[in-house]
Structure 1
């Protein structure tokens, strides 16, 4: 007797999702197969998207749990029934990742699906080994099973590591689209660290308060809003796509970490970080992004020497000879240089970049040295989870990670900065913490812009890309 399970997936048309499951059995065999029990490993982003598009209405699987990593305070929640669908009337529990083996054994799990990003290839295979040793199968879902197809053209901006400068490049693309008389809408990779909103539409700064964001969520939206661009995010990216199609001529995917796009793109730009040379092929799924890129932007070349940039170009050419490669300068500027010039400062950096992104320091330190500041070591003043982060991520230099995943953690950040013996704060995270915290010292904010290192450069190339899209779509 032979039992064959065939899964037929229709193309996504205007965000609609259709899945047909056909079970073919020989005579005398039960016509219904038992669903395979699964765990989805994630970090409040890719995991929920994979569930929504592959598992939610799929009777071949029963998702028993999500596990959570990288981001604090996102475990011990429940993916709500209204998002989980009719197969999950109680929702789906979320557990910390350290419980993985216990969950596999307790529930006799058949399959574990790895669904988060910006981790080394070695890390992925250590997880796979844990899963296999516990008796389950280990799987990575690919673009054909997870990407949604849009009715509007999509340009995706992704990266090889978090903190490479995706959002800066995304704004450059948005500027080019706007100059051609078209309206871009930016769709940001999900970060449901607080409430599970199916769709979030940010049109103005007031919306940042309306959605009760964490500090990490705000830092990904605020600069786009300051430049006049609408931003969409949420948890249900089919519904997000429908909203984006209503409000845009071209959709811009601004990725999170080094994750792959959720939408099928007509053109994919991958950003590499010159200050982390060699990482291009060492992290998941950054290497996959690089191999599939149409355009590669080598960002922050002004912070390294020419030989470093040359090495990155050679590695990129070796694995993706068809991609166009453009060196880009990431220029940092500070809004109030006189507040910090020559003074004793504490530097606050983007948290994901200096935590799991493994950056020792960022643009704040660059600006401080440029303005002859004395950088104060903040570790002696850190409290609570801010203090703990230096032990968890020992490569962090003399900077404060802008951790604000909860109200309690934001208070710990506020206490750390107010207790520091310094004259001023250099704020190099995109989020404006002065909107959320009461800081007892002057604060100067750092901003970034992408500038072509060569002429013609990335901007001229993007104009050609956009013009071809306009011609193709009329």
Structure 2
């Protein structure tokens, strides 16, 4: 996998970065945002490249890979010409697929568009996304999918006062007011979703002020050591029975939490035909 650039550190040390283990994340002093991008691949045994010079990155990746998957993060278009271009549209944010650059550019370039989360989105929003895809890219293949939610210990949620931590960029510039963590807390019977805003410190409090649409949850922002420390202080000062972490990473590798932690994940469950396997096999 080659990821789009995450230029948060000393760029002179990030010309070509190779991540093959979780220890590499520490070695490269990765931010929480970088970890959220890289860790899900690493735990599946997939090597990740990133950095600054994408010509050099491509040449290094070519030496060890049969297939290179460009992972554009939130919405970055590929720096390499793809043989197959797959784009995901979120029906919880209908209209974003044609409102923002470079997401709209990706949609126009796509060979395949996946509409995920269809089981929790409003039907009219799924229809709007589908209509927008057909309008700007009528040749694209559309794959629809559910995004079922899994909790490591669902019984631990019931009856508890829960602090929900969600993926940071989804809640900030992603403009969502909640994520999978809030859905899981309600679905599995939390007695209360504790609002962390009164306990937020430093830049975490500033994030809530800058993005007032964020609901009673904590976005996992951590663009540097000081902000990570402020995130840890906010978590540990919020009175709750359980911390429900719905970020793509295990936050316990980054911060020390003084309360029990449970994790939320969601996967892709394709609905109907064609599915991604059929599309990929037909192309290659």
TM-score over 0.5 for the alignment?
yes
TM superposition score category, shorter chain reference: over 0.9
Q: Does structure 1 conserve the Cα–Cα contact (< 8 Å) formed by 2:245 and 2:262?
A: yes
Deviation at 1:361, TM superposition (A): 0.6
Residue 23 of structure 2: which of 190, 206, 210 is its match? 206
Runs (5+) with no aligned partner, structure 1:
1-185, 469-474
2:154 is the alignment partner of 1:347: no
Secondary structure of 2:30's partner? coil
1:332-355, Cα deviation, whole Å (9 max, x unpaired):
211222332321111111111100
Residue 292 of structure 1: which of 79, 89, 109 is its match? 109
Secondary structure of 2:266's partner? strand
Q: Does structure 1 conserve the Cα–Cα contact (< 8 Å) formed by 2:143 and 2:273?
A: no
1:174-228, Cα deviation, whole Å (9 max, x unpaired):
xxxxxxxxxxxx1111112123211111111221111111111111111111111
2:219 is the alignment partner of 1:401: yes
Runs (5+) with no aligned partner, structure 2:
none
Secondary structure of 1:358's partner? coil
Give me the CA root mean square deviation.
Answer: 1.2
Secondary structure of 1:274's partner? coil
| 1:40-439 pair list within 5 angstroms | 186-196=1-11, 197-373=14-190, 374-439=192-257
Q: Does structure 2 conserve the Cα–Cα contact (< 8 Å) formed by 1:349 and 1:362?
A: yes
Change in 2 beyond 3 A, CA 1:195/1:339: farther
TM-score, length-scaled by structure 2: 0.95
Deviation at 1:323, TM superposition (A): 0.5
Q: Which has the higher contact order (CA 8 A, sep 6+)?
A: 2
Query: How far apart are the structure 1 equivalents of 2:144 and 2:257?
Result: 38
TM-score, length-scaled by structure 1: 0.58
Name the count of aligned residue pairs. 281
Query: How far apart are the structure 1 equivalents of 2:45 and 2:109?
Result: 30
Query: How far apart are the structure 1 equivalents of 2:120 and 2:271?
Result: 12
Deviation at 1:411, TM superposition (A): 0.8
Q: Does structure 1 conserve the Cα–Cα contact (< 8 Å) formed by 2:7 and 2:51?
A: yes
Query: How far apart are the structure 1 equivalents of 2:53 and 2:153?
Result: 40
Secondary structure of 2:148's partner? strand
Q: Does structure 1 conserve the Cα–Cα contact (< 8 Å) formed by 2:143 and 2:274?
A: no
Query: How far apart are the structure 2 equivalents of 1:309 and 1:389?
Result: 30
